Amino acid sequence: MIKSSEIDKIQEDMADALDDKRFMHTLGVAYTAAALAMRYEIDMNTAYVTGLLHDCAKCISDKKKLSICKKNHIPVSETEQQNPSLLHAKVGAFLAEDKYDIADKSIIDAIAYHTTGRPNMSDLEQIIYIADYIEPGRNKAPNLDEIRHMAFIDKEQALIKILEDSLFYLNDSNQEVDLITQQTYEYYKNK
């Protein structure tokens, strides 16, 4: 169980670690994750803290992210080497444990998989993935009204729609699609 004093501390740490825009997004994800936790009956404070921490490595320079990986034996793929911003989820999961003293493995995993997703995600992982996409500050993705509505009715349907739209966007803009995102989509689509 996370105490409210610990939550306050993490929130203050994030205000320091992130720029204003990213901090606002972070609060949006934390509150949206808490609301989804109420709906899906998982621990609200756990969801809130995971939301607070999910982008904790986002404002760290690429050079620093790579050096954190090297120093701590975190594997870096060829794609990540070329585009180190992709590493913010992995590095964020490491920092959540190492720097922000999170012992709950389910929180660490939800941070680690918040950009790619993975097949058979836990409720918390799904909630963070969805909250990151639908928090009130987001306004660019297509079908947001529909996905926001669906998120509170059937989260796996919302997840499928987000994955579908993300894969379409990545393909359409000729960006590399993480294999695990494709696998996640197929897993939920065929479930």
Pick 32 or 46: Cβ nearer Fe ion: 32
Q: How far is the CB of 50 from Fe ion (least distance, A)?
A: 11
- Using CB under 5 A as the binding rule, whether residue 125 contacts Fe ion is answered as no
Contact between 159 and 130 (Cβ < 8 Å):
yes
Q: Compute the half-sphere exposure of residue 12: CA atoms within 13 Å on the CB side of its CA.
A: 6
Pick 55 or 125: Cβ nearer Fe ion: 55
Query: Which of the residues 9 through 68 are near Fe ion (CB under 5 A)?
Result: 55
Contact between 107 and 49 (Cβ < 8 Å):
yes
Interface with Fe ion (CB under 5 A), residue from 56, 132, 134, 187: 132
CA angle 30, 32, 36 (to 5 degrees): 115
Contact between 116 and 92 (Cβ < 8 Å):
no
Alpha-carbon 103 to chain mean position: 18
Q: How far is the CB of 53 from Fe ion (least distance, A)?
A: 10
Q: How far is the CB of 114 from Fe ion (least distance, A)?
A: 6
Pick 23 or 188: Cβ nearer Fe ion: 23
* Site for Fe ion, rule CB under 5 A: 55, 132
